[in-house]
Amino acid sequence: MLKQCSEERYYEALNILPPRRWIDKGFLVGEPHSHGMCPISKVVRATYAAFFRYQGKFYEHEPMTVPQFNAYDVPKNLPA
């Protein structure tokens, strides 16, 4: 689930560790949160805390795998 967070929270998470993955839309925190079945690849993978930036706002998502993060479409999942 995607929820809005503060800019401070976003940058705090970004500066904890080097990101696992960092692209224009956001980043995954560098250390795994847990492991679980990836809905994209259908194999067990590490999950990471996910953070996104969209139109000047900052968002946090429950942990996701790298393939999930790559495929995630922020505008389609914005909280109401």
Backbone angles phi, psi at 14, to 5 degrees: -65, -35
CB atoms within 10 A of CB 13: 21
Residue 24: what pLDDT?
95
Residue 46: what pLDDT?
97
- pTM of the predicted protein model: 0.93
List the chain residues with pLDDT less than 50.
none
Taking alpha carbons only, the member of 20, 34, 30, 21 closest to residue 63 is 34
Q: Could you identify the residue written with the tokens 């946090």?
A: 60
Residue 79: what pLDDT?
82
Residue 48: what pLDDT?
97
- Cα distance between the two ends of the chain: 12
Q: What tokens appear for 78 in the block?
A: 């914005």
CA 55 to CA 19: how far, in whole Å? 21
CA 10 to CA 52: how far, in whole Å? 8
